[in-house]
Amino acid sequence: MTTFLELGVDQDMVDSLADQGIIEAFPIQEQTIPLALEGQDIIGQAKTGTGKTFGFGLPLLQRVGADPEPGVQALVVVPTRELAVQVYEDLELAAKNRAATVVPIYGGKAYEGQIEQLKDGAQVVVGTPGRLLDLASQRILNLGDVREMVLDEADKMLDLGFLADIEKLFAKTPATRHTMLFSATMPGTIVTLARRFMSKPIHIRASDPDEGVAQANIEHIVYRAHSLDKDEVIGRILQAEGRGKTVVFMRTKRAAAKLQEEMVDRGFNAASVHGDLNQDQRERAMSAFKAGKKDILIATDVAARGIDVDDVTHVINHTVPDDEKTYLHRVGRTGRAGRTGIAVTFVDWDDLHKWALIDKALDFGVPEPVETYSSSPHLYADLNIPEGSKGRLKATPVKERAPRGGSSTRAGDGGSGEERSGGGRKRTRRRTRSANPQGPGRHEAHGHEQHGHDTEGGGEPGAPLLQEPGEGSAPKRRRRRRTGGSGDGGADGSAQ
């Protein structure tokens, strides 16, 4: 193990990190920091939760200098507002004992504060493409003196949805700049494309080639589940022994809003983050989740990449993600910084083909996951759910309950939750510690993303119509309020 000091990081930043108990470098940091400090262009690839942010953040801050001239000299571009806030906070933390200032620039937020900080001479900018270009075109943000540029979640930033904006941003910066790209996933096509923006980049992969594509700290559990029964299954998983914070990923913002309502109704402490909320609501939800005031976050793919929250023990994929990259990013919200985590994925009958592609790319060997109901004994065993747990913590509020006498009729409390006919059920619980010698890159074959510019992470196919079959049939459901748009039309990729 090497300390940050030994890697050549300035003492004041070493001290700032030490205050957080961060002293020894993680492998990606060990491999990238010395080269980055010398100005080497880098494509840095390491699994989720392994410390990429400081891997680029420390050299970037150090090369800008402890007390630089006023004016933007470093730019970090990220795909979502939530990630902009987080990366900003990480850089702030590292730079707290130096004069250089960091400013977050992202959409859905008032312009005034951001403009003020730029006018005050901030040197390091962390932002989302839409607002960055907006301020650049107004000549409030000058990128002509940028010496350091980073794309975090680089494969996403160079994907079709963002590429045009990223090209524009690059074009506004000097060609002589130092450029670094980081992500957990880096398909070969993106690496090739990336070279256009870089000068003699070195591709660093901080993972053991024998380790496989998926995060080894995460236990991957996959079930074929019925949409009518999913809320009940989730309610039971939420009572698993040792469950800490939990993130549930949904395909659409509409589904996310509905599930939050349902889970709150069942007595759970759930917040949600998706593109139907305004930025204040999104930030309040994230803070409440980070602070532990809410222990369940129901999210669309806006929270799939980069988001780092302590003590996330479980990730649940309510629906199969678009591809294996999204799978890896989503489940990577758990099992971070050396901890372990559990990822549960529900596969609908209709999504079996989609799942089979992901399964193949990740070499899980579970193309046909076991049929699973809220009452399935293997659900309880796999997830350590205490016997007898049901999927709600409190009864339906009195005023909304059917006139006395009736016991629960909710799906999954018995009736529709029963496991169907026996048959040779195979356990598909799966630990992916097994080797996949082919390493990253081989999954490109399926990597045909077609994300719209404003639909981060796969967008909202047919949004108004898209509803989980049966989900609307729960006994009681208050009308959802729409909470207004996010202000900038999601130009920064946060419309989901």
Ligand X SMILES: Nc1ncnc2c1ncn2[C@@H]1O[C@H](COP(=O)(O)OP(=O)(O)OP(=O)(O)O)[C@@H](O)[C@H]1O
How big is the site for Mg ion, counted in residues (CB under 5 A)? 2
3-state secondary structure of 234: helix
In the bound state with ligand X, the residue whose beta carbon lies nearer, of 2 and 389, is 2
| Residue 65 beta carbon to ligand X: minimum distance, rounded to whole angstroms | 22
Nearest residue to 429 via CA among 150, 215, 220, 148: 220
In the bound state with ligand X, the residue whose beta carbon lies nearer, of 15 and 418, is 15
Measured from each CB, the residue nearest to Mg ion is 306
* H helix or E strand, kind and range, residue 221: strand 218-225
| Residue 52 beta carbon to Mg ion: minimum distance, rounded to whole angstroms | 5
Does position 329 bind Mg ion by CB under 5 A?
no
In the bound state with ligand X, the residue whose beta carbon lies nearer, of 164 and 337, is 337
> Which among Mg ion, ligand X, none contacts residue 184 (Cβ within 5 to 8 A by kind)?
ligand X
- Burial pattern 252-291, b for ≥16 Cβ within 10 A else e, equals bbbbbbbbbbbbbbbebebbbbbbbbebebbbbbbeebbe
In the bound state with ligand X, the residue whose beta carbon lies nearer, of 93 and 264, is 93
Chain residues binding ligand X by CB under 6 A are: 22, 24-26, 29, 46, 48-54, 184, 306, 308, 332, 336-337
Among 57, 127, 235, 306, binds Mg ion (CB under 5 A): 306
| Residue 153 beta carbon to ligand X: minimum distance, rounded to whole angstroms | 7
Q: What angle do CA 353, 357, 360 make, to 5 degrees?
A: 130
In the bound state with Mg ion, the residue whose beta carbon lies nearer, of 52 and 330, is 52
Among 33, 42, 43, 52, binds Mg ion (CB under 5 A): 52
Going by C-beta distance under 8 Å and a sequence separation of 6 or more, which residues neighbour residue 484? 278
| Residue 422 beta carbon to ligand X: minimum distance, rounded to whole angstroms | 41
> Which among ligand X, Mg ion, none contacts residue 51 (Cβ within 5 to 8 A by kind)?
ligand X
In the bound state with Mg ion, the residue whose beta carbon lies nearer, of 147 and 333, is 333
In the bound state with ligand X, the residue whose beta carbon lies nearer, of 203 and 378, is 203
C-alpha to C-alpha distances, 237 to 73, 98, 245, 331, 491, nearest whole angstrom: 47, 45, 12, 16, 36
In the bound state with ligand X, the residue whose beta carbon lies nearer, of 48 and 260, is 48
Does position 335 bind Mg ion by CB under 5 A?
no
Does position 330 bind Mg ion by CB under 5 A?
no
**Residue whose token pair is 């209709």:** 350
Does position 57 bind Mg ion by CB under 5 A?
no
> Which among Mg ion, ligand X, none contacts residue 336 (Cβ within 5 to 8 A by kind)?
ligand X
Amino acid at 371: E
Does position 79 bind Mg ion by CB under 5 A?
no
In the bound state with Mg ion, the residue whose beta carbon lies nearer, of 327 and 373, is 327
Does position 459 bind Mg ion by CB under 5 A?
no
| Residue 429 beta carbon to ligand X: minimum distance, rounded to whole angstroms | 24
> Which among ligand X, Mg ion, none contacts residue 466 (Cβ within 5 to 8 A by kind)?
none
Under 8 Å between Cβ of 2 and 28: no
Does position 51 bind Mg ion by CB under 5 A?
no
3-state secondary structure of 451: coil
> Which among ligand X, Mg ion, none contacts residue 185 (Cβ within 5 to 8 A by kind)?
none
Nearest residue to 246 via CA among 333, 366, 337: 333
Under 8 Å between Cβ of 474 and 411: yes
* Angle formed by the axes of helices 230-237 and 253-265, nearest 10°: 60
Separation of alpha carbons 259 and 249, rounded Å: 10
Under 8 Å between Cβ of 146 and 173: yes
| Residue 205 beta carbon to ligand X: minimum distance, rounded to whole angstroms | 13
Read off the DSSP letter of residue 332.
Answer: T
| Residue 492 beta carbon to Mg ion: minimum distance, rounded to whole angstroms | 17
Amino acid at 27: P
In the bound state with ligand X, the residue whose beta carbon lies nearer, of 91 and 135, is 91
Separation of alpha carbons 40 and 321, rounded Å: 35
Stretch that binds Mg ion, among 44-52, 169-177, 214-222, 371-379 (CB under 5 A): 44-52
Separation of alpha carbons 25 and 21, rounded Å: 11
Which residues sit at the interface with Mg ion, rule CB under 5 A? 52, 306
